[in-house]
Amino acid sequence: MEARDEKRLLRLQARLQNAQLLIVDELGYVPLSQVGAELLFEVFSQRYERGSTIVTSNLPFAEWPSVFRSERLTGALLDRLTHHVHILETNGESYRLKQSAGRRRAAGAEQNKAAARPHPAAAPGKNDHDPGAANQPS
């Protein structure tokens, strides 16, 4: 069983190593296990100066040790990742939060419009000022 899993892992590592472009999105969103951190380090090390890699993260580099659970491993990883690199740092409002807030505002405006409309069963008449008048004979 372990040999089969080992073969699958080796095949996956070979595919990741040979990919022209590897994209790792949201690195640091979830902390890695020690084994996971070591495997990811291995992937990045194998790709170092051999293939293009894009990494996105909401964390500054100073917080990466909390993801990889090791200062030394993180330092070695960052050494490889930041050599021959273009770092694009964006600071601003999350576009997902902005879109979500816009949808909530639009839904709230629609609810306010619906609440302001008269109910179809309420017909205008001489007893509009008396809420119980609709149930009384004229």
**pLDDT of res. 110:** 73
* CA distance linking residue 131 with residue 122, whole number of Å: 10
pTM for this model (two decimals)? 0.62
pLDDT tens-digit map of 105-126: 777 777 777 777 766 665 555 5
pLDDT tens-digit map of 63-89: 999 999 899 999 999 999 999 888 888
**pLDDT of res. 120:** 63
> In CATH, what is the architecture of 1-115?
3-Layer(aba) Sandwich (3.40)
**pLDDT of res. 77:** 93
For the chain, which residues make up each domain, given as ranges? 1-115
**pLDDT of res. 122:** 57
